[in-house]
């Protein structure tokens, strides 16, 4: 069989080829020779990356419209991606998940860490939701969907186009049904003894956040007989986990009415409606209002969206985390627990912890750090890519 001749892109002499050889998965535009030929490559083109001496380094997916101009797909002489190529990588990803989980509800593919750069796949039983956040994956989406059905046996594959990643790649925001028929109702998902309702067609991201699963479990251990406040609750997150852990009551706060409605539906399925309440509103305003209402809680959890999704937003994001910590710490009873989370990869653990401690101190509280949590093992980290270790959860006793 004659292998196709791939186009070539070349690194500048000052590029860090050592990092690429050691597993760095991204090549940035300022590291490459951006001649007219390279700029003319269509987004998603499969190419060979060469060093400045014209020695092949890797097979890459190219997007001249992105700051990440190339994503490493494999060795320079590897087969180009097709259905069989995707099958091999999906089998490897599935093998890990079936060792970790008894039921088919998990993140099946976590982008670069699973060898599929920019690709997120969450599984909900017989349905998989793909977020193709890179141009090459969008271009090969039909092959990916076909391989996904072959490997997992799912009957429905959906495309979710929400999220910042697709915008940065210059991709559309159109959702689609790739295989089968979309669920006509939210899908119940069991985690840590709690039930969650995942809206796979119009919910946020893929419909549910699996990454917090171990942190939900940790927090739930503190919630027995406790009054629990869950801010930025989405579809019930920590609140429902707390109810499963025996909380006396749980109040879920979020700005989204549809998300809170799904949380309430889940609480009803759990037979815990009498212990569950929701409050719609801005998180900062609601925290301040609860303080003026003299409300106090045994456990307070804040799991906000990424306040610092990039380096330019870091300082403003850290101030927001500090403010959240100050407002939430004021609502915790003496000897109670405060859980603060961040999904901002630009705010590393040290910076995030510092912001939290400043906020807690400004509230006049003295914290003891009990536990530091991260994403679950279905969200593996690629050591050479700091962005893959985005999630942090700090558990304090005040």
Q: Which helix (H) or strand (E) holds 8?
A: strand 8-10
Provide CB contacts within 8 A for 250, sequence distance 6+: 223, 228, 229, 230, 239, 240, 242, 243, 275, 276, 277
Mark whether 343 is an active-site residue: yes
HSE toward the beta carbon, residue 39, CA cutoff 13 A: 5
Provide CB contacts within 8 A for 360, sequence distance 6+: 325, 326, 329, 338, 366, 367, 396, 398
Provide CB contacts within 8 A for 229, sequence distance 6+: 250, 251, 253, 290, 295, 297, 299, 300, 301, 328, 331
DSSP 31-58: GB---HHHHTSPTTEEEEEE-TTS-EEE
Catalytic site residue from 156, 302, 343, 356: 343
Active-site residues, by number, are 343
């Amino acid at each position: 069989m004659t292998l196709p001749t791939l186009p070539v892109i070349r690194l500048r002499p000052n590029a860090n080829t050592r990092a690429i050889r050691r597993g760095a998965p991204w090549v940035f535009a300022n590291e490459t020779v951006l001649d007219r030929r390279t700029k003319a490559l269509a987004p998603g083109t499969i190419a060979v990356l060469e060093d400045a001496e014209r020695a092949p380094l890797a097979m890459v997916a190219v997007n001249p419209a992105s700051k990440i101009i190339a994503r490493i797909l494999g060795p320079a002489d590897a087969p180009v991606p097709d259905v069989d190529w995707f099958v091999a990588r999906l089998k490897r990803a599935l093998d890990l998940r079936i060792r970790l989980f008894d039921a088919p509800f998990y993140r099946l593919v976590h982008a670069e860490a699973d060898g599929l750069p920019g690709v997120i796949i969450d599984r909900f039983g017989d349905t998989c939701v793909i977020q193709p956040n890179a141009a090459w994956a969008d271009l090969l989406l039909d092959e990916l969907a076909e391989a996904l059905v072959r490997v997992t046996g799912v009957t429905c594959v959906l495309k979710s186009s929400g999220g910042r990643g697709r915008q940065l790649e210059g991709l559309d925001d159109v959702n689609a049904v790739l295989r089968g028929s979309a669920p006509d109702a939210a899908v119940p998902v069991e985690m840590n003894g709690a039930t969650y309702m995942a809206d796979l067609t119009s919910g946020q991201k893929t419909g549910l956040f699996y990454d917090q699963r171990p942190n939900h479990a940790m927090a739930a251990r503190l919630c027995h007989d406790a009054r629990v406040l869950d801010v930025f609750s989405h579809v019930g997150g920590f609140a429902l986990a707390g109810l499963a852990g025996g909380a006396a009551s749980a109040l879920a706060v979020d700005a989204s009415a549809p998300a809170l409605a799904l949380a309430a539906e889940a609480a009803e399925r759990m037979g815990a409606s009498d212990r569950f309440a929701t409050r719609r509103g801005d998180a900062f305003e609601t925290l301040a209002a609860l303080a003026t209402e003299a409300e106090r809680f045994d456990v307070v959890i804040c799991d906000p969206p990424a306040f610092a999704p990039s380096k330019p937003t870091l300082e403003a994001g850290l101030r927001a985390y500090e403010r959240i910590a100050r407002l939430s710490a004021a609502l915790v009873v003496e000897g109670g627990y405060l859980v603060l989370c961040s999904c901002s990869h630009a705010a590393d653990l040290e910076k995030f912890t510092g912001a939290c401690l400043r906020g807690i101190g400004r509230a006049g509280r003295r914290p003891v750090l009990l536990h530091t949590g991260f994403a679950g093992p279905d969200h593996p980290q690629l050591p050479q890519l700091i962005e893959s270790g985005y999630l942090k959860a700090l558990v304090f006793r005040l």
